[in-house]
Amino acid sequence: MKETWLRMRYRDFYDIPRAVVVEWDGTLYLFDCLFDHDLDDYESTYTVYRLPDELRESIDQMTWTDLGHRGECVGSVPTRDVEFDASRRESINSTIFERLSER
């Protein structure tokens, strides 16, 4: 897979973005890293959801609480495997989708 930097939108930033929406291959995906109250910390994985296309126009105006329930879970990846740009606020490396498909 050719490395490409994908523009992202995010919410909930703590060290890294904890909720990220990115478009890859014409489809929107949510990378969701939830807070674990028992651990009093964020989970070490992103759960990845394929989002329905009808959310494309409204995603920036809606709440992302339970956004994953509006999509289809396609897997999970460790947060450490997701490569962000230097600012951690603009883009992610597309190679994460290759790792996602390996699972």
* Residue pLDDT tens, the chain, 103 long: 677 999 999 998 999 999 999 999 999 999 999 999 999 999 999 999 999 999 999 998 999 988 999 999 999 999 999 999 999 999 999 999 988 765 5
Q: What pLDDT sits at residue 1?
A: 62
In DSSP terms, which residues pair with 73 in a beta bridge? 49
CA 84/CA 52 separation, integer angstroms? 24
CA 96/CA 103 separation, integer angstroms? 11
CA 6/CA 82 separation, integer angstroms? 12
Q: What pLDDT sits at residue 25?
A: 92
CA 49/CA 72 separation, integer angstroms? 5
